[in-house]
Amino acid sequence: MTSERTHTLITGGAGFIGSNVAHSLLRDGERVTVADNFSRAGVRQNAQWLKRTHGDRVRIVDVDVRDAEKVRLLVAGSRQVFHFAAQVAVTTSLEDPAADLQTNVIGTFNVLEAARAMRTPPPILFTSTNKVYGGMGEVRVDLAEGAYRYADGRRGVGEDAPLDFHSPYGCSKGAADQYVHDYARIFGLPTVVFRMSCIYGTRQFGTEDQGWVAHFARALFGSEPITIYGDGCQVRDILWIDDLVGAMRAAMDRIGSVSGQVFNMGGGAENAVSVRTVIDRLRDITGADVPVAQAGWRPGDQRIYVSDTAKAERMLGWKPRTSWRAGLEKLVEWLHEADLATPVAAREPTSGGGAHALAEAAR
């Protein structure tokens, strides 16, 4: 571990969002430490790609954020921390709530405590979720032309919406969100929380459990059947990954003025689309078609969730630039280039020695 604080630390850095943030920083000549336990199927490919593309400026370490001592050493050597490592799926949190809690709450607590122990703690950006607002059953919605919409005409959900953790994942991410937020208030740590809706893009190994846009795109490519949970009329404001990376870097660049802030982050009203519309558009782009089955609603699934990004626009000088239509085209283009048509579960084991071997080789 380096004693100089020249590195950016990205926990979960081999993941979808982590590898994109890493690439953006590395392209600008920065040094990055990617810390990941490679538990997400597919993400070893992201680490290998970062290493191939950026060589020695990226360090890849096989670290589990539940290991407080290793986290302490990594944070102590970092000039800023993007804390993304997480158990990311509601479904998995229902199967194993204890593991979900350990990674999401204790892992985050380890990062915060490591920073609190330092004379000058590094800025920390934490990725929370719209799930902290719960099912939002109290918000009236209408169904019009195959898509839910807010009956009161609001453009989206602001940061002042009541918290209502739903599902173990909602509880663990929500607890971590509140810890990160409060450590800025109570201990003066420079932290910022992004409550994100649905992010999609390159380097995303989406599955049925998480990353549904990428999952559908890959299923269409690979002629795998699709299951829609609920009626498919649910609406999300999808945000293209490069736009998210821009917002994250803007937040870190101005941490002095945004420390302690929470931002709702998504594509906003202009990029709010139903699940069925996304599938239809992907069918048009790929020219592929697959059987679509329907199953019951998942717990806590909101009929509509659209982020009100006004605060982020005001304080970060940021706006989503990529329309959902253009984003879906770029996603399919990447699948072509990377030859990643087959859905993840069909070609990747969920664990294995390869991750360790990669981390060793990368040191």
Ligand X SMILES: NC(=O)c1ccc[n+]([C@@H]2O[C@H](COP(=O)([O-])OP(=O)(O)OC[C@H]3O[C@@H](n4cnc5c(N)ncnc54)[C@H](O)[C@@H]3O)[C@@H](O)[C@H]2O)c1
Instruction: Select from 232, 314, 311 the least CA-distant residue to 279.
Output: 232
What's the Cα-to-Cα distance from 101 to each of 13, 15, 65, 69, 172, rounded to whole Å?
20, 19, 12, 18, 5
**Residue 52 in tokens:** 């191939």
| H or E element in which residue 132 lies | none
Report which of 197, 308, 205 is spatially closest to residue 244, judged by C-alpha positions: 197
Q: How far is the CB of 200 from ligand X (least distance, A)?
A: 7
Residue 257 or 350 with smaller CB distance to ligand X: 350
d(Cα 166, Cα 318) in Å, to the nearest integer? 30
- Smallest gap from Cβ 3 to ligand X, in A, equals 23
Give residues in contact with ligand X (CB under 6 A): 11-12, 14-18, 36-40, 43, 64-66, 84-88, 103, 107, 127, 129, 173, 196, 198-199, 211
Provide the minimum distance between the beta carbon of 203 and ligand X in the complex, in angstroms, as a whole number.
8
Q: What are phi and psi of 181, to 5 degrees?
A: -65, -45
Q: What is the set of active-site residues?
A: 169
- The minimum distance between CB 350 and ligand X, in angstroms, equals 10
Nearer to ligand X, 111 or 341 (CB): 111
CB nearer to ligand X: pick between 286 and 307: 307
Q: Among residues 31 and 36, whose Cβ is nearest to ligand X?
A: 36
Name the residue with tokens 């048009």.
284
Beta strands in the chain, from DSSP E residues, in sequence order:
7-11, 31-36, 58-62, 78-83, 124-129, 141-144, 147-150, 191-196, 198-200, 226-229, 235-240, 262-265, 272-274, 292-295, 304-305
**Between 193 and 332, CB nearer to ligand X:** 193
Torsion of CA 61, 210, 343, 217, to 10 degrees: -120
Chain position whose Cβ is nearest to ligand X: 15
Q: Cβ 128 to ligand X, closest distance in Å?
A: 7
- Reading phi first (left if > 0) and then psi (alpha if -120 to 50, else beta), residue 55 is in left
